[in-house]
Structures are given as C-alpha cells and as structure tokens.
Structure 1
Amino acid sequence: MILENILIGLNNAMSLASLIAIVIGTSLGLFVGAMPGLSATMAIALLLPITFGMDPATGISMLASLYMGAMYGGSIAAILIKTPGTPAAAATVMDGYPLNEQGKAGKAFGISLFASLIGGVLSSIALMTIAPLLGNLALQFGPVELFAVAVLGITIIGSLSQGSTLLGLLSGAIGLLLALVGMDLITGTPRFTFGSIYLFSGIPYTVALIGLFSIPQAIRLIERDEKVKKAINSFTDKMLPTLDELKLIIPNTIRSSIIGIVTGIIPGTGGDTACWFAYNEAKRFSKNKDKFGKGSIEGLSAAESANNAVVGGALIPTLTLGIPGSSATAIIMGGLMVHGIMPGPTLMTEHAGITYTLIWALLFSSIAMFGLGLIFTRLAINVTKISNKILAPVIIILCVIGSFAINNSIFDVYLMFAFGILGYFMNKINMPTAPMVVGMILGQMLDTSLHQSLLIGQGSWMVFIKNPISAVLLAIALISVLQSTPLFSFIKKKIKSNKKEAVN
C-alpha cells in the first residue's frame, strides 16, 4: 500500500504543472533567501493565497519548494556581504565570507550548493521513510490522544522559544484564544465575534499569517538604516568542488544532514539551531580545527547541509502529528487546511496522493535548487543590492493584495494590518510569534477533541490520565515546560554545585 502511494505521488510530482510549480517555487526561494532580512516564512505566507486556485498537490509543492530554495538562498548574502539572508544561514558566514575575501566566492557557492543538495535529498528520503511509520502509529489516536498531541505541540513550541518561556507560552495562549473566535463547532453558538458577521466563520488563518510575518518585516526594513553594502559584481573561479574536496566534505555533509533532520523533527528548533549544531560537530571531528572561521570548506558544508536537511525533518511532525516543526511548516500546514486537508494522524492514508506528491516535490526541488543555483547564482548576487526603500512598499502591497484575494473582503485587509501591528509590537518585547501561530493551528483541534474526550469520559478529566498514550504525552508536555522554568535552572545549578563540593 505504501509503495503504491509512493508511486502515485511520483506520478503527480512529475506532471508538467507540478514541475513548473517546483521550478517557480525554488526560484522564488533563491531570490527571497538572498535578500537580507526577508525570510522563507514571510514569502510562503505571501505566496499562499496564490495557491488557492491550484490543485492542492501542485500548490503545496510550490510552497515546499520555496522553503527549500530559501534555505540555500540565504547563503548568497552570507558569503557575499557577511549578512545571512535567512537566520538558518548564520553559521555560513563563519567560513563562507572568508572564502569570498580570499577570491574564492565561486568555490564557496559550489560547496554550499553541493552540501544543500545532499541535505535536501537525505531529508526527503527520511521524510518518505519515517513519516509513513509514524503515520501508521498515529492512526491509533482518538480524541483523547489528539487532545494530548495538541497540548504537547503548544507547550514544546512555547518552551523552546528563544528568550522568555513565559512569553512563549503566553503567545501560544493568545493563539488558542484567537482560534476560538467564530461559531462553536459543537454547539453552533458564536464566540468572541463582538457582533461582527465577518468573524462568524472565524479569523482567516492566512490573513493572520500574512500580517504577523510580513508587515513587521516591512516596518523593520523601513526603520533600518541603509548601509553601504560591499558586494561583488561577478566571480570567475570554478564553482564545482574537486574530487579531493568531495572526499573531504562528503562524510561531514552526511553527518550534518542527519543532525539537521533530527533537529528539524523537534518542534521549535529550525535551521538556525541545526546549522550551529552541525558546525560545532564538524569542528569537533575535523583534523583541521584551526581552519574553521578562516575559510574552511568543512565548516561551510556542515552549516549548509544541516539547514537544508531541516526542511524534511520539520515536515515529519507536521504531516504525521499535525504539530508544525517550524513557523514555515506551520504556514504550509495552513495551506493544506485551506484546501480542506487536515494534517495529522490520518493524512498519510486519507490524502496519501497529496502527501507523497509533497514529499517527491521536496526531493525534486533539491535537484532544481542545485541546477538553478549553478546557472543563476552569478546573477542572483545582484538581488543583495536592492534597496530597503523599494522592498518595504512592495511587501506591503503584496500583503494587501494577498489578504484581499482570499475572500474579496476589505475587512480581511484591516484584519491583516491589525495582526501586522500586533506582530510588530510582539517583536519589540521579544515575544515570539511562532507559538501564536501554532496556537491558532492547534486551537480548533484542541477545542473539538476536548469536547469529545469529556463526552467519552462522561465529564471526568481523569479520561486523559487513564489513557496511557495521553498520559505519557501530557507528562512530556509538563516536563518540557518545567525544564525551561527559572526554578528548574536553579535546582540544576544547585545540584551541580553540590557535586563539585562533594568531589572537592
């Protein structure tokens, strides 16, 4: 059955429409990733309304391809102007920019492309093999288990948020409240609509995403002072790595890809975490540690393979459990929901054709990224020179068009700006927006499964404790929250100090 679904997905992904969507998505990802300050998350949110009229498999394939392309695209600015195009390219600066200073920009791009290809292909294979196994296991999940999954998803994202855990959990709670706006699915009564008929169907998920991720970015671009960018107009050295260089970086690239996949599976981490993990391990295993930070191709390949491997890894919990592995996959998950496809335990069986088309599209986008990178990287360096004064208005215009196109409603445009302002001030106080996004995604499932579970348990909350799967998931959620509290940190430090005193 699984083999049959894989072949169906391959057939769908090789259709002309899907291949064109993959190439377009990858090209857009390269452009967005190369622009310092822009992100794959923002680009996916803007592109999402365009996919509404497409076949679901084709539209989602385009979004996933953009995600993959942006992961490599971030290395362009990192190598040329020492400014990561995306947060996931942060570690690329360490050795990519020194190679550029040594007149080896082409070599740096070639190593980056090759490593990104390996990372993308391996993560696609992992997604194709691991996701079905988890999907079959998740078929055993009922309302009680789904409630625990939703709680776990929210608490993990909140506890892994950068900065204050409390702010992360508060952001997730706000997302949950926003998910409750509209008609109650069980009783049919309106909630938190304030008498507005526009809110009876709830807050349009895509409108909120466009506002939260795109408007704050446009405002930051306006606020940012224009800096003189030291960029090169061309490079003449060869891009493809030599045989000796391949022998040096392949083992490191494979190890870093595995690190990226595992890191991606953990919700809330992402490419910016994976690239540093892989870079650190590459340095640990390297025989030339002194070259790191001075133009080491080992360090560069580790960072680039890891951040691309995160893409497939982050999609594993997204597709099988309905828990987004990153903010970008949260928007891809929203794209599935817009087409009436709910990610979760039944996705791999009820919508197997679309799911496996997405997985094959991810693999093809890695290959397309390598080909497009070799052809267009020499031209793509010019996008780093585009002024913020041009970018910011373009982003805002696209936000307005995208939010209006969803329901042809001016109310949605006002709502988008409201979320944009909210997202801007959340960034100002370092409150992460990712937990809010996850709260909005999981809120509906949480609400419905809670009602159903209490009906099953005849009103008793003990139904969540008596169920072994639910009890384990809720325990993990509790531990994940407690581990990030100041009290836990204090106890941990106290234990370490006592051990030191005992040794002395």
Structure 2
Amino acid sequence: MEALGLLLHGFAVLLTWKTLLLMMVGLVLGVFVGVLPGLGGPNGVAILLPLTFSMDPTSAIVMLSCIYWGALFGGAITSILFNIPGEAWSVATTFDGYPMAQQGKAAEALTAAFTSSFIGSLVAVMLITFLAPWISSFALKFGPPEFFAVYLLTFCSFVGLGREDKHKTVIAMALGLLLAGVGMDTVSGQLRMTFGSTDLLRGINFLVAVIGLFGISEILLTMEERLALRGHAASISLRTVLAVWKDLPKYWMTLFRSSVIGCWLGITPGGAIAASFMGYNLAKRFSKDQDSFGKGRIEGVFAPETAAHASGTAALLPMLALGIPGSGTAAILLGGLMVWGLNPGPLLFVEHKDFVWGLIASMYLGNVVGLVLVLSTVPIFASILRVPFAAVAPMIVVSCAIGAYAIQNAMFDVWLMLGFGVVGYVFKKIKIPLAPFTLALVLGSRAEDAFRQSMIISGGNMKVFWANGLVGTITTLAIVLLFWPLIDRLVASVSKSTPPAAKAEA
C-alpha cells in the first residue's frame, strides 16, 4: 500500500503542463528515432541527452524516458512495413509481421505490436513499482565490499550470460574499464593516462563517448549500406484495433510467458534481443500449429514485442535501486542522472522521492499516451522513411556535435566524439558488443573506488569479500556466473556420459 501512495504522489509531481508537454515532445522524438533504421532507443537517448542539461532532473528524465518509450514503439513500424528492424530486438518481429503486411494485414500487425509492447512495458513498470523500494531498502545495508561485489556480479553476468562471444565481451569490458581510469585518481589524487594533455585532466566524459559510439557509428554504417526503403502503406482504424483487442484473451499465455521472460532478462543482463528471440521461440514451441509461424501469424508478433519491451523497461529496475544499469539505454540514463547530480542507488528513494516516483509515474502515463499516439499517427511516421537518408544524416551529425560540445563547452569533446564514432563503427563491423563497453565506462570508476575502499578497510585482505553471508553470497554468485558456460558444458557432458541404466536406477 505504501508503494501505491508514493505512486500517487509521483502522479501529482508529474501532472503539470510543462512536464506533460515535455512528455509529448519526448514521445514524438522517440517514435521518430525509432522509425529511422539503425538509430533506435539507445542512440536516440544518447543523441538527445544534451537537450536536457538546462532542465530540472525530473523534467529531464521524464523526457528522456519518453524518448525511449517512443523509440520502442517506433521500431515496430519499420519491421512490419519495410522488413527492416528499427531495433536489434525487432528482428524477430519481422518473421511474422512483414508477411502479415504482404497479405494486406499491416494494420492488424501494427496494432498487435503496439498493444503487446504496451502490455510488456506495463508488467515491467508494475514490477519496478513494487520491487524497487524493497530492493533499495535492502541495499541500505551495503558497504564498499558489498557494492564492489554487486559491480563484480554485473560484470561477470555480462560475460557468463551474454549471447555474444565471451572473448569479445571481455575485450569490450576491459577497454571500458581502461578508459574509465583516465584522469585524476579519486583516491590518491594522482593523474593517470593524461599524457600531458590538459583536456584529459577531467577524464573521458561518458556522454561524449556514448554520443559517438551510438550516434556517429550508426550514421557511418547506414551510409555504407545505402539503405533504399520500400514498404507497404498502412493506416489503423478503430475497428481494426477493437478486433485485435477482442482476440487478446486467446493469447493470454503467450503474453504472460513473454512478459515473465522479458522481465527476467531485463533485470539480468540477458537483454531485449535474447528476450525477443526466446519469447518467439517458446511461442512457436508451445503452439499447436508450429508451421504457421513465419507465414504471417499474429502470435508471432505478440510474443517478441511483449518480451522485448518488458526487458527494455525492467532494465531500469537495477539502475534505480542499485545504480547498476541492466542495458545500454539504462547505462546512458545512469550517466544522465550523474550529470544532474543524482546518484542512483538505495539513497535515491530516500533523498529524491519526488524524482523517483515522478519517473515511475511517467512510465505508466508515457506508455498509455505513447500507445494512443502511435495507433493514430502510423501513416505520418511511416512517411518519414521515404525522406532521403542524405537529408536526415547531416542533421543527426550536427545534433551529435552540438550535444558533445555543450557538455563542457570544449572543442576537444567534439573530436573525441568523432573518434568514438569510428571506434563504434569498427566494433560493430567486427561484432564487439557496445553494451559491456558502455557499462564498464560508466561503472569502472565506481567499482574501482569500492574495491580500493574495501582494501583500505581490510588492510589488503581479499577475505573481506567473504566477510559475511551477504557479501560472500554475492561474490560467489559472481564467480559462478563468470564460469557459467564452462559449468553448463560440464554438467551437459556428465549427463550425456551417464548410462541410461544408471539414470533409471537413480
């Protein structure tokens, strides 16, 4: 009941004309970047983040979160009408969404995608509403050893549970940790890796790196691919919407299963991509008519969209409660909170109640308004895809440059942004994931500080990370997750080598 009271307080904070206007602006911008192939939520939030520097934290985070919600909705438009995934996790949506559009059922496919996106996000927001305060109050017991153990758990779970090649994840994370150490050492006050440059005394600004990694690199990739967009027209009528909603109860198990999968993979670093494919595959596996999948089945749109959006929203739970982002977008939002002087974690719910509950309330309202917006404006946003990319790309590059310069009013940051753009382009070409790199860049200095404080407290004794049940459990779990692929392979080989007779006797 306390959570409901705080949520109502959040709506009271949120319901001002200024905040509602920023919410609408954020949703429109979000759908716009979601529709443009290659940009999507993380890139849109990174590029548009500097626009919020002059705002108060509540208004800024509401606008940014609505950009994210809008991008989640907009990604389905390109997937279904043009067979081009607007987001990486929209790939599974194309399997049945585009065949439906080819069959003249584009309106039904889009309605199914938007509705399932709304349902997945709503389930995840409800999870955040009731679990985040409990997690944050529990985390108040944490000291430096416990916080380092949680950071270690995050890093190890990205390696052990991630879908990318393990060595590439380790390379990306190591580079991120290395760059996080540039600048002044917060413990000793000494300079590290500045190479005599006064511009590097402040360290490498996280936002500059993110704008380059996500924004500029995507422009370079899109220029290389020279996308020519041809798709199907679509407009959604109220009759179509009501017809799809009428059939929703038939697919309640698919929606429920995909929501659970998405929330779990959002809180853990499995990610929305894994969630969408897992939701789709399980829907197909449990279907009585598996052969119809891939040929225009509406359930093949419900499953991946619900899972992906539940995952993308649930990733904000560990970011708010523990200060540990569960996705690339959550990491960017974490960087934004730091710019505004807020430290995500357990104290955020105590010291900045208006901010936290205003944000959670905006998740509810933003999803409702976003659903209505995309259902009523699909033709307008679909027409954006017919604008030549040569006209759109320069505007995005200029926005990135202005954003990078505005952070610290330094031309050096613009050059640094361009450098990170090239790095992001190379990373994507050789399949090195950006999410672990971004995570390490954000959390690297905090993890180092927690580790060194722990060493000072214990006099250099590593046993401090097993000093009590809480920190010992987290540290052990982190090590298990780091070596999980080997453990899983070992268990599988043992089970295969066990004779059937022995299994029967057991």
Provide the rounded CA distance (Å) in 2 between the counterparts of 1:264 and 1:308.
Answer: 9
* Matched residue, 1:427: 428
* Matched residue, 1:347: 348
- The C-alpha deviation readout for 1:398-425, integer Å capped at 9, x for no partner, is 2111100111110111111121222222
- Tell me, yes or no, if the aligned pair for 1:208 and 1:416 is still in contact at 8 Å: yes
Gaps of 5+ in 1: none
Give the secondary-structure state (helix, strand or coil) at the position aligned to 1:440: helix
* Matched residue, 1:94: 95
Provide the rounded CA distance (Å) in 1 between the counterparts of 2:372 and 2:246.
Answer: 22
Provide the rounded CA distance (Å) in 1 between the counterparts of 2:235 and 2:12.
Answer: 39
| Cα 1:500/1:28, change in 2 over 3 Å | farther
Give the secondary-structure state (helix, strand or coil) at the position aligned to 1:155: helix
Residue 175 of structure 2 corresponds to residue 174 of structure 1 = yes
The one-letter amino acid of 1:218's match is I
Residue 230 of structure 2 corresponds to residue 230 of structure 1 = yes
Q: How does 1:191-340 map to 2 (within 5 A)?
A: 191-227=192-228, 229-235=229-235, 238-242=239-243, 244-267=246-269, 269-340=270-341
Provide the rounded CA distance (Å) in 2 between the counterparts of 1:411 and 1:273.
Answer: 37
Give the secondary-structure state (helix, strand or coil) at the position aligned to 1:60: helix
Q: How does 1:52-201 map to 2 (within 5 A)?
A: 52-201=53-202
Shift of 1:147: 1.0
* Matched residue, 2:9: 8
Shift of 1:195: 1.9
| Cα 1:408/1:253, change in 2 over 3 Å | same
* Matched residue, 1:403: 404
The one-letter amino acid of 1:253's match is L
- Tell me, yes or no, if the aligned pair for 2:208 and 2:417 is still in contact at 8 Å: yes
* Matched residue, 2:477: 476
Provide the rounded CA distance (Å) in 1 between the counterparts of 2:393 and 2:441.
Answer: 27
Shift of 1:141: 0.6
Shift of 1:58: 1.1
Shift of 1:346: 2.0
Shift of 1:123: 1.4
| Cα 1:381/1:239, change in 2 over 3 Å | farther
- Tell me, yes or no, if the aligned pair for 1:108 and 1:239 is still in contact at 8 Å: no
- The C-alpha deviation readout for 1:340-390, integer Å capped at 9, x for no partner, is 111123222222221111111111111011110121112111122233333
Shift of 1:124: 1.1
- The C-alpha deviation readout for 1:207-256, integer Å capped at 9, x for no partner, is 011111111111101111333x3313444764304264133234432332
Shift of 1:307: 1.6
Provide the rounded CA distance (Å) in 1 between the counterparts of 2:233 and 2:301.
Answer: 22
Provide the rounded CA distance (Å) in 1 between the counterparts of 2:196 and 2:73.
Answer: 47
TM-score, normalised with respect to structure 2: 0.93
- The C-alpha deviation readout for 1:439-465, integer Å capped at 9, x for no partner, is 111112112212221221123222112
Sequence identity percentage: 36
| Cα 1:500/1:356, change in 2 over 3 Å | farther
- Tell me, yes or no, if the aligned pair for 2:100 and 2:295 is still in contact at 8 Å: yes
The one-letter amino acid of 2:230's match is K
TM-score, normalised with respect to structure 1: 0.94
Provide the rounded CA distance (Å) in 2 between the counterparts of 1:236 and 1:122.
Answer: 25
Deviates more, 1:352-361 or 1:419-428: 419-428
Give the secondary-structure state (helix, strand or coil) at the position aligned to 2:498: helix
- Tell me, yes or no, if the aligned pair for 1:111 and 1:241 is still in contact at 8 Å: no
Provide the rounded CA distance (Å) in 1 between the counterparts of 2:160 and 2:431.
Answer: 14
- Tell me, yes or no, if the aligned pair for 1:135 and 1:320 is still in contact at 8 Å: yes
| Cα 1:177/1:241, change in 2 over 3 Å | same
Give the secondary-structure state (helix, strand or coil) at the position aligned to 1:91: helix
Deviates more, 1:142-151 or 1:157-166: 157-166
- Tell me, yes or no, if the aligned pair for 2:90 and 2:276 is still in contact at 8 Å: yes
Shift of 1:330: 0.6
- Alignment size in residue pairs: 500
- Tell me, yes or no, if the aligned pair for 1:162 and 1:432 is still in contact at 8 Å: no
| Cα 1:266/1:489, change in 2 over 3 Å | closer
Provide the rounded CA distance (Å) in 2 between the counterparts of 1:378 and 1:71.
Answer: 17
Provide the rounded CA distance (Å) in 2 between the counterparts of 1:296 and 1:166.
Answer: 38
Q: How does 1:5-44 map to 2 (within 5 A)?
A: 5-44=6-45
The one-letter amino acid of 1:484's match is P
Shift of 1:493: 5.1
| Cα 1:75/1:3, change in 2 over 3 Å | closer
Shift of 1:125: 1.1
Provide the rounded CA distance (Å) in 1 between the counterparts of 2:187 and 2:440.
Answer: 19
Give the secondary-structure state (helix, strand or coil) at the position aligned to 2:315: helix
| Cα 1:73/1:241, change in 2 over 3 Å | same
Give the secondary-structure state (helix, strand or coil) at the position aligned to 1:27: helix
- Tell me, yes or no, if the aligned pair for 1:68 and 1:311 is still in contact at 8 Å: no
- The C-alpha deviation readout for 1:53-81, integer Å capped at 9, x for no partner, is 11101111111111122112111011111
Shift of 1:395: 2.3
Once superposed, what is the RMSD of the aligned Cα atoms?
2.1
- Tell me, yes or no, if the aligned pair for 2:283 and 2:299 is still in contact at 8 Å: yes
| Cα 1:273/1:247, change in 2 over 3 Å | same
| Cα 1:56/1:236, change in 2 over 3 Å | closer
The one-letter amino acid of 1:137's match is F
- The C-alpha deviation readout for 1:84-120, integer Å capped at 9, x for no partner, is 1111211111221121111111111112222122222
- Tell me, yes or no, if the aligned pair for 1:157 and 1:434 is still in contact at 8 Å: no
Provide the rounded CA distance (Å) in 1 between the counterparts of 2:313 and 2:355.
Answer: 16
Provide the rounded CA distance (Å) in 1 between the counterparts of 2:287 and 2:162.
Answer: 31
The one-letter amino acid of 1:256's match is S
The one-letter amino acid of 1:260's match is G
Provide the rounded CA distance (Å) in 1 between the counterparts of 2:259 and 2:154.
Answer: 24
| Cα 1:236/1:128, change in 2 over 3 Å | closer
Give the secondary-structure state (helix, strand or coil) at the position aligned to 1:240: helix
Shift of 1:282: 2.3
* Matched residue, 1:390: 391
- Tell me, yes or no, if the aligned pair for 1:143 and 1:450 is still in contact at 8 Å: yes
